[in-house]
Structure 1
Amino acid sequence: MSAIHILHYSLIVGTCFVSHYAVAQNNTVGQAPWSVRLMGGIYESEGRVEVFYDNQWGSICDSLWSIEDANVVCRQLNYSGADLALVAGQYDEGQGVVLFSNMECNGMESNLSTCKYDLVDVTHCDHSRDAGAVCTSQGSLRLAGGSVPGEGRVEILGESGDWGTICDDGWDKTDAGVACRQLGYPDALEAIVNVGYPNTQPVFGSGSGPILLDGLHCESEKRHLRDCRVTKQWGIHDCTHGEDAGIKCDMGLTRLVDGDFDDEGRVEVYYGGKWGKICSTNWTIDDAHVACRELGFPLGARNTKIFEGGDGPFLLDDMKCQGVETHLADCESLGWANNQNCDANLNYGAGVVCNDPSAVVRLLSGSSSYEGVVQYQNRSELGLICDPDWSDKEADVTCRQLGYQYGRSEKPVSLGPLSGTIFYLDYHCNGTEEQIGDCVYTVKSNDVQCNPDHIAQVFCGPPIDFDLRMVGSDFTEQGRLEVFLKGEWGYVAAGYYSSIDRDTVCRHLGYAGAFYTYTTEFARSSRPILIDDISCGDNDMKITDCYILELSGPHSTQQERDEVSALCFPYAS
């Protein structure tokens, strides 16, 4: 298995069960070329892909169907290439047999017959999973002048083969939505018009080709801009390039559905022009962490959960995220639409409950990352909790919210005079809550300054992978750095360890940053090297955020004298 990547111009899905594929992958040596055709589309350049094989026309199951496969089909039909590879029977269902599945072209073949594929004899891949293609032709779109993918000046391919622009007269979000979906995005965020014309230039610059469309009026269900009504014929307009229309498309290819709150729900991914589910078999907290961070929850997931509903296909199965990936598409899986473990008719899918940033909890100023002062975010304001009755129950809930098995109310940090934001709260947890924000509490009077002994602190356990601690010093804010990984403690070798890396280490431990120069030597250990090298960015909060994190192997070249150490300074209180 390998990582999969969502390509905005490559749209693929399907739920064929490979356990029912009766014939192994083909041997392409001596294979006669196949004829192909597109059926069921509005235009001859789009439709359901059908192949003439064994004296009959049949369709292709969309399991693993890709833009590379669609490119081969379109070039066979004398187009320059494909705009989209579509899935899940988006054109009228075929009437013949489903001939092939798991088509794997590299995009350079001259005929589908030379690609890898599986023959289908008996399969649960019916015509609702027919693969489709949209070939590059008159009406195809591209974006120009944008600084990031998914935005730009809309350019449309004319009948003569020239790319032209669209006048922004009447251009609105409905028109932009059709354009974005035609380009492979779920929807539009914004329709861009030059409201200051003629005194300002278009946001994405002026085009140089012909102006091909003016007075466009789309309905949301349209597949293509050229399906929409226009007040003028192609090439007829009363505009200048100062009025070229632009769009910003929705780049969010993951969403939560059917949860009671915004931070929970069934995880759905957008691929092949369809929103679909993820099979819950082998769905783990590491997968959930990746999904939540992709959705904008920086602390990842509180837990996994199954959510009923959803009539889309299963698009992903057997996820194997490590928990540090940026997108679900970066994780290992069986591949797009290669669903082996969930019946297509199941009325539920993998879901998550994410850590809402409005209920952020982290631990400050301990000698390890699993102990310290509890910092809580209440309605976007960060502060400490003053609770004279803070007990093991509150500590246990707090630690489980952070991913640990248990917690105890202890005082690992010595506190001096207090300042800054203090929440005067008296919590009454029963110990079964999933996060501290679920506990019953009362707001106490802040007329009297909080006693430092009443500031909530915890000790969590047991350690989890990539927990850090500083040892060899009598002070919590300094020491030799050790990391917990795969059930043991070991040290981090310095390598090219920089001041930025020290800052990240200290932030991981709940401090504001690191002092860059110090000469203190700390006692050595006989523990193994677990991390050979680390290289972090300016804003990384944990070592797992760093873009280089090399785990040690049996042939590490690092020596004990290369052990990383740090001297941290706390957040201002």
Structure 2
Amino acid sequence: MFGLLVAASFLGHPAGVRCRVADFTPFLITSFHSLVPLPVISSSTTPVSVSDYYNRFGGTAQGSANYGSGTGVIWLDEVNCLGNEISIDQCEKNEWGEHNCVHSEDAGVNCTISITQIFTSPRVHTTQQIESTRVSTTPSTSMHDSVIIQLVGSNDGSAGRVEIFYQEQWGTVCDDQWDNNDARVICRMLGFSDGTSTVGGSYGPGNGSIWLDEVKCSGNEQSITECTSSPWGSTDCKHSEDAGVKCGITSATPSNPLLAIRLVGGNTTSSGRVEINYNNKWGTVCHDKWDDNDARVVCHMLGYSHGIAFNAAKYGMGSGDIWLDEVNCTGSENSIADCPKNSWGVHDCHHGEDAGVDCSTNEIPVRIRLVGGENASSGRVELNLNGEWGTICDDGWDNNDALVICRMLGYVDGIGLSYGWYGAGTGKIFLDEVNCVGNETNIIYCKKQAWESSNCDHGEDASVQCFSQKAMTVAPSIASDVSVRLAGGNSLSRGRVEIHYNGQWGTICDDSWDDRDAQVVCKMLGYVDGSASRTFQAGTGPIWLDQVECQGSEASIEQCVRNRWGIHDCSHSEDAGVECSMTTRIFTTTPSNRGAQGIQQARLIGGNNFTVGRLEVMINNVWGTVCDDNWDDRDATVACRMLGFSSGIGYRNARFGSGTGQIWLDELNCTGTEISLSQCVSSNAGVHDCSHLEDASMQCFRREATEPTIGTASIRLIGGQNTNEGRVEIYHQGQWGTICNNNWDMKEIIVACRMLGFKKGNMLNRIIPGIGIIWLSNVDCSGSEISLEQCSKSDWGVHDCQHEQDVAIICQ
């Protein structure tokens, strides 16, 4: 039922509110339309009334039935708005239908639109709110700066005669060649997803100019100005031929075909909290599974071509119903109603989880830069969104993600680096759980969590190293048409060696295959060092080379001693592999007389990048491993220092796989200040009581391992069998220390695991005693804290504990 507004004590500012609800801008420049706005109550029609109307932004209040007296119900009286409400229903007022007025007091408004304001972006439309006139603006791609569209002649805001505002004048469109493709473009400009055409002045003849004739759209255009047509104002038509449209939104909910959607709380009309009108009630969307694909569908419904997702009530918490949860769009749907989701109203959320979007008519302008690297092609990845720089969390970060970033920067290849490899950033962490296929042109098209929804700290900032050629996959050898690539590895720097000869890829047999052969292959691929490996899966096709014997100085494997091409006695189970490195691992040190001497080189094997792996050292030109007896972070730091890093964390029990051959070192006992393992106390070279199941491993860092930003606490797990378990150590006053298990229970575990990026955890069922200072005792958390620092606890360093009481946990 329609009704009219009444003017008894209308001393607030409702004119601006109603003009805004009807999609007029709240800033006046040019007045071109007047109407009596009618709130939708149900389906039949009756009129509303007003007195003492007040002028406010976007509209002039008109009282005393300035536009004539209505009939029927007077719905509202004593309306008192502030002027910033988005709906008159939010204003102070009497109860619906409660008044002491007559229709001679019916209220009206004179709405105005700021032409400069309306040119900036499409409006946000709700298909169940605008009854008599519908307005849209779209930037023009032609010489005509902008186009404003309205539908006139129907009491349904989704249908009417098409009118265009051009050269400060409203005019119509002739129906010559007018069809559904043309209607579809008009309707999309108005925020609908589809439309059908009407001809013959079906919504009454207009007056004034007939601006367009012979319009011919394909149906995919964003604006009517992109379609072919006669020149503006050139026509042989009469107003009895005025074109019209009937608009709608394709919906998976037939009972609600005109699904209304709006954005609330943003600082522009193109951003805000997503609200949906369902069963005549506005409600929000829960952010579970909410990502850019969902945002893209919402933004398409609102007439935009692009969008990005935000969660955790970035645009403020809504109220009332939460209509949708677990929305999982592909991005190609016409309506959010078409997406997989829970049933309407079924959710386990609160309004602190309300979903939001930021829409745009153009691709979201995300800029990329690399910070903290050795050169312009390497560094921490930082994004600029809306003028603000932020980082990316390394959860799920891999070479496919790096490849997309590097291509955005003009490179052709790249590798991903984790653990704040080039230092910790500051500000927001924009993205987390990035999962690119590798062929995307922009990181915004990769699967990922909603923007600004990370549970990481800056110690997990993602980094890349970019390359201007396909250095890691295919590289031609010098003065040759022979190329090599690596296949079957879990990173670009390791894998089965494949060689391209005579137009076909094939493998190399591992007979006589050693580190000198690997060094040549790795140099062909742009690395400076490499080691031989036989651990990758079998290849297919020809086996091109066998009995390769390089000196290590050759520029191409072609130059090495070998059998002739294709001559071999091998199977693919003998395919040769390599593990390449970006830096030379050769050191000359002054050995002590207290242990192993003559360590020539060190390397990391078996990790997913060159910062982590099983430690191997070369003595007497033979590679061997290090036993993990007494192996700790101080030993790892010295070994990492040999490799050009600043510090390291030690791991035991062959975490990155068992080695083969010699076990060169055992019982290492470094102070942590040495520059080589040769300077540490240890057993003599080759003297040990270990097996390769005890091979030592480590993680290296370019800075103090996982050192936090000043003023924040950081924790790490040490001594576990996997990276998600171990003794909890906390960083304070420049020093790592342990935590006593007094009062430690599940609430403290949840907080600690949350700091490490996990959701839950348990106590570890074994003791991993640490060394040095015990920083915390009697920690008592509620479980909601984001850091152990926020929990109740004893003063730093105050305790009565032994290291046998050090907390050890496993996170999940």
TM over 0.5: no
Structure with higher RCO (Cα < 8 A, 6+ apart)? 1
> Which of the pair has more CA radius of gyration?
2
Normalising by the residue count of structure 1, what TM-score does the alignment of the two structures yield? 0.29
